[in-house]
Amino acid sequence: MKYNRILLKLSGESLMGEKQYGIDNNRVQQYAEDIKKVVDAGIEVAIVIGGGNIFRGLSAEKSGMERAQADYMGMLATVINCMAMQSALEDLGLETRLQSAIKMEQICEPYIRRRAMTHLHTGKIVIFGAGTGNPYFTTDTAASLRAIEIKADVVMKGTRVDGIYTADPEKDPTATRYDEISFQEVYDKGLNVMDMTAITLCRENKLPIIVFDMNEPGNFMKLANGEHVGTIVR
Ligand code: UDP
């Protein structure tokens, strides 16, 4: 196997499926089945999930709410998504632990790096909730940060697009997909991969990012096997 430990980042929006808001259980179940295949192959998987399907701090700020307050609400939204994913994984018989960057002891563990690593070692899936625990950050940054902390080999960002394009493929039909791109090119071309804080963390710590289509069943396993899917940034 090419990877021992993978950090999978899922956006909140990806959990919406075809819905306009909230969680599509069928979509969460498909993701859980894909994750199971990778875990069953003996690869350690940690997951960071966003909250944009429920609440986004930046959007709330635009309609007048104080940013920090709105961001804390966004972080709580991520925990709801994490709990949905935890249930779906456990329904498949997998062992999981949810760790939150904001303490919520009735529903999950607090984030403790060393404990997270022990869980991974013993074959449990660790889901990291509440982003970084700080306002003004994103769950992309949380994914990069946690991946570095737990010494993951790669961040895999599962989206509904099959990689990084020269322009937004939903708007520009001439856009082409990169197989591989450097961190410098992402900066120079202003490509929308992850926010710049997340990109910089990965670059400084030599952590590759793979952007791929998580909605295509089997893609996550292909990547875990070392097959080329999506776009790799390194
Ligand atoms: N958020 C935050 N700090 C973090 C991570 C997330 O304040 O470290 C808040 C922020 O308001 C953000 C919301 O949580 O809009 C949901 O996270 P994100 O937008 O990253 O989710 P995604 O786009 O992946 O669904």
CATH of the domain at 119: 3.40.1160.10
Contact present, 85 and 32 (Cβ < 8 Å): yes
pLDDT for the residue numbered 63: 95
pLDDT for the residue numbered 160: 86
Is ipTM beyond 0.95?
yes
pLDDT for the residue numbered 28: 98
Residues of the chain with pLDDT under 50: none
**57 alpha carbon to ligand 1 midpoint, in Å?**
7
**50 alpha carbon to ligand 1 midpoint, in Å?**
6
Q: For residue 101, which atom of ligand 1 is closest to its CA?
A: 8
Residues lining ligand 1, CB < 6 A? Answer: 11-13, 50-52, 56-58, 70-71, 74-75, 77-78, 131-132, 134-135, 137-140, 142
| Distance, CA of 128 to CA of 125 (rounded, Å) | 10
**65 alpha carbon to ligand 1 midpoint, in Å?**
15
pLDDT for the residue numbered 86: 98
| Distance, CA of 108 to CA of 102 (rounded, Å) | 10
Alpha helices, DSSP H only, in the chain?
Answer: 25-40, 57-62, 67-91, 113-121, 139-149, 183-189, 196-204, 219-224
pTM for this entry: 0.97
Neighbour tally for 204: CB within 10 Å: 11
**123 alpha carbon to ligand 1 midpoint, in Å?**
28
Residue with CA closest to ligand 1 atom 14: 74
| Distance, CA of 6 to CA of 140 (rounded, Å) | 15
Pairing of strands 180-181, 231-233: parallel
pLDDT for the residue numbered 199: 97
pLDDT for the residue numbered 46: 98
Percent of the chain that is helix, strand, coil (3-state, to 5)? 40, 20, 40
- Provide the 8-state DSSP code for 155: E
Chain centroid to CA 228: 19
Give 195-225 pLDDT, tens digit per residue. Answer: 999 999 999 999 999 999 999 999 999 999 9
pLDDT for the residue numbered 1: 74
Phi, psi of 113 (to 5 degrees): -55, -50
Q: How many structural domains compose the chain?
A: 1
**2 alpha carbon to ligand 1 midpoint, in Å?**
30
pLDDT for the residue numbered 222: 97
Q: For residue 56, which atom of ligand 1 is closest to its CA?
A: 15
| Distance, CA of 109 to CA of 116 (rounded, Å) | 10
What is the helix (H) or strand (E) element at residue 103, kind and residue range? Answer: none
| Distance, CA of 213 to CA of 136 (rounded, Å) | 27
Q: For residue 52, which atom of ligand 1 is closest to its CA?
A: 25
Angle at 185 between CA 203 and CA 157, to 5 degrees: 55
Q: Which domain holds residue 29?
A: 5-233
Residue with CA closest to ligand 1 atom 15: 56
What is the dihedral angle through the alpha carbons of 165, 137, 144, 133, rounded to the nearest 10 degrees?
A: -150
Residue with CA closest to ligand 1 atom 21: 50
| Distance, CA of 75 to CA of 93 (rounded, Å) | 27
